[in-house]
C-alpha cells in the first residue's frame, strides 16, 4: 500500500517533495454499543483494514486532496475552512485541519493522496480512520507536539462539530490506540484503557464480520435522536438518583427506576445500563478463555439493540438469526451504530467456508442482497509507514 500511494502521489503532485505515508485502522466493536457517548464502557478491536495517506507540504495556503477510491480531487483554502456540500468525504479532513487551527496550530498547505480498504458505510469506522490518519499526517508533516489522546479528541471534535455527527470517542480511540492481537477495553469517561488479549484463534474461533449491504448514513440517521433520548432519561432519573451525570452511573440494581420511566426512555436507558454490564462480563469471560459465555453476551447485546435501543434493521436481524443457526457459532450481533452496516459472529475457524456459503446464500434468497463476509485480524493503531 505504501509504495502504491507514493507512486500515485508523485503522478498527481509531481512538484511536491517526497511524501510521508501514514495509516490508521478501522475498527469492529465487539461489545459496548451506544455506550460511549453515555460515558460508559466499550470493547472495540482495531482491524487490519484502514485508511492510508501520502502527504507533503506544498508551500501554499491550500490543501489539495485526491481520493484513489473515488478518483476525485478536492481543494480548500486554510484561511476559510467550510464544509463541502458535494464532496462529503473531504469534510473529515477539513474538520481535522480546522481543529488544529482552533488548538492554536498553523497548518500549511498540503498535497494529500488517500486510499482506504475499509468497506464504506459498513459500520467499521472508516470515518474515524480518515480523521485519525489526517491528524497523524498533519502532526508528522509539521512536527507539531501533540500527544495521542489530544489527537483523538481533535479527531472526534471534527466529526462532532464539523461533520455534524454526535459520535462518542470510541472509534477514534480504537483507531489510534489499537494493538496487534488485542482488543481495547475503554472507559469513555476517564479514557483509561486496557489491552485485552483476543484468544479466539488459540481456541479455534474467528470473529466473522458480515456486511449486510445496507448502507448506513450516520448524519441522516436517528443516531443524534438516540443521544438526546439518553440525555432525557438521565434528566428524569436524577430525581431519584441525584448524583448521576450520565447513564454510565446507573447500575443494574437501579433498573426498577429505569423501567418506571416513560416507555421509550426506559427502553433506551435499559439498553445502555445492561450493555455496560455486558462489556464487563464479556471481558471477564474472555480473560478466563470462556468463549461460550462471551458469545452469549454478544447475542444478548443484539437483542437489546434490536428491541430496546431500536437501531437494528430487518436485514441485520436476519443475518444474526442466520448466523446463530450455523453449526458451532457461539454468538452474533450487529456492530456499529446500526441502521445497516455489519454483524459479527463467533465462528469455528474450520467451519468458516461453510458458514460463509450458507449465510450468504440464505440471505440473498430472502433479501436479494449480497452479503460479504470478512475475517479481520486485531491490528496495531495509527502509525507512520515511511
Gyration radius of the chain over CA positions: 21
Q: Do 378 and 180 contact (CB within 8 A), yes or no?
A: yes
- Segment (H or E) for 9: helix 2-12
Active site residue 194: no
Could you write out the DSSP letters of every residue in 205-232? EEEEEEE-S----GGGSSHHHHHHHHHH
Side-chain half-sphere exposure of 140, counting CA atoms within 13 A: 20
Catalytic residue among 111, 171, 249, 308: 171
At residue 59, the 3 state secondary structure works out as coil
The enclosing H or E element of 89 equals none
- What's the CA gap between 99 and 153, in Å, rounded? 9
Q: Is the dihedral of CA 60, 63, 67, 70 positive or negative?
A: negative
- Rounded distance, CA 162 to CA 320, Å? 34
Separation between Cα atoms, residue 224 and residue 94, nearest integer Å: 22
Grid cell 453515555 is found at 38
Residues identified as active-site: 171
Amino acid at each position: 500500500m505504501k509504495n502504491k500511494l507514493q507512486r500515485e502521489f508523485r503522478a498527481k503532485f509531481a512538484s511536491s517533495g517526497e511524501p510521508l505515508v501514514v495509516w490508521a485502522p478501522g475498527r469492529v466493536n465487539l461489545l459496548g454499543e451506544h455506550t460511549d457517548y453515555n460515558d460508559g464502557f466499550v470493547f472495540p478491536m482495531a482491524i487490519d483494514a484502514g485508511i492510508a495517506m501520502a502527504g507533503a507540504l506544498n508551500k501554499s495556503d491550500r490543501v489539495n486532496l485526491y481520493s484513489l477510491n473515488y478518483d476525485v480531487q478536492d481543494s480548500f483554502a486554510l484561511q476559510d475552512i467550510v464544509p463541502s456540500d458535494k464532496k462529503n468525504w473531504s469534510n473529515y479532513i477539513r474538520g481535522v485541519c480546522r481543529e488544529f487551527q482552533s488548538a492554536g496550530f498553523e497548518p500549511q498547505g498540503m498535497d494529500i493522496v488517500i486510499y482506504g480498504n475499509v468497506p464504506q458505510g459498513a459500520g467499521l469506522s472508516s470515518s474515524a480512520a480518515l480523521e485519525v490518519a489526517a491528524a497523524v499526517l498533519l502532526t508528522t508533516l509539521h512536527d507539531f507536539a501533540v500527544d495521542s489522546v489530544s489527537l483523538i479528541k481533535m479527531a472526534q471534535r471534527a466529526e462532532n462539530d464539523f461533520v455534524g455527527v454526535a459520535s462518542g470517542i470510541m472509534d477514534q480511540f480504537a483507531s489510534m490506540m489499537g494493538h496487534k492481537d488485542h482488543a481495547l477495553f475503554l472507559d469513555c469517561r476517564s479514557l483509561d484503557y486496557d489491552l485485552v488479549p483476543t484468544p479466539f484463534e488459540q481456541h479455534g474461533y474467528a470473529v466473522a464480520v458480515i456486511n449486510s449491504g445496507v448502507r448506513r448514513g450516520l448524519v441522516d440517521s436517528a443516531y443524534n435522536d438516540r443521544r438526546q433520548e439518553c440525555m432525557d432519561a438521565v434528566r428524569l432519573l436524577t430525581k431519584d438518583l441525584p448524583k448521576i451525570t450520565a447513564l454510565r452511573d446507573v447500575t443494574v440494581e437501579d433498573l426498577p427506576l429505569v423501567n418506571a420511566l416513560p416507555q421509550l426512555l426506559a427502553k433506551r436507558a435499559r439498553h445502555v445500563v445492561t450493555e455496560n454490564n455486558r462489556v464487563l462480563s464479556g471481558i471477564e469471560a474472555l480473560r478466563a478463555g470462556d468463549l461460550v459465555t462471551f458469545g452469549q453476551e454478544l447475542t444478548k447485546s443484539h437483542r437489546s439493540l434490536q428491541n430496546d435501543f431500536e437501531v437494528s434493521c430487518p436485514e441485520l436481524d436476519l443475518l444474526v438469526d442466520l448466523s446463530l443457526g450455523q453449526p458451532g457459532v457461539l454468538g452474533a450481533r450487529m456492530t456499529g451504530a446500526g441502521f445497516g452496516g455489519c454483524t459479527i459472529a463467533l465462528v469455528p475457524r474450520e467451519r468458516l467456508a461453510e458458514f460463509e456459503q450458507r449465510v450468504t446464500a440464505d440471505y440473498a434468497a430472502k433479501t436479494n442482497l449480497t452479503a460479504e463476509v470478512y475475517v479481520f485480524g486485531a491490528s496495531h493503531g495509527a502509525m507512520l509507514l515511511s
